[in-house]
Amino acid sequence: MENLRVLLVCGSGASSGFMAANIRKVAKARGLKINVVARSESEIENYIDDIDCLMIGPHLAYAVDEVKEVIGDNNIKIALMQPEYYAKLDGEKALEHILSLYK
């Protein structure tokens, strides 16, 4: 997967900022070109035209349907981050999750 654009969202964007950095580090080590940015959930609409994948913090599971409505017909993969890797900010597991969406 080349030049994949990923948006991570959590409540305020703080913990997802650390997760995004960890994913970037793992992707770079693997030679993958993946752009990962972290923002607050309130900013999703601003990025719809600029992303291929949206990862949502596990604590925002309640908002997934609402997010799908916002995304509409745009060809964006949506992943709800798993608490197991999110709690540890495990960039390796998060990257695996992202890549699995494209298999």
Could you tell me how many residues make up the chain? 103
pLDDT for 11 equals 73
pLDDT for 25 equals 97
pLDDT for 95 equals 97
Query: Per the structure block, which two tokens stand in for 5?
Result: 């654009």
Total-model pTM:
0.92
Axis crossing angle, helix 91-100 with helix 14-29, rounded to the nearest 10? 80
Q: Could you state, in order of their start, the residue ranges of all structural domains in the chain?
A: 4-100
Architecture of domain 4-100: 3-Layer(aba) Sandwich (3.40)
Q: Are 77 and 52 in contact (CB under 8 A)?
A: yes
Torsion angle of C-alpha atoms 87, 9, 96, 74, degrees rounded to 10:
160
pLDDT for 82 equals 95
pLDDT digits (tens, 9 = 90+) for 2-61: 699 999 998 765 788 999 999 999 999 999 999 999 998 889 999 999 999 999 999 999
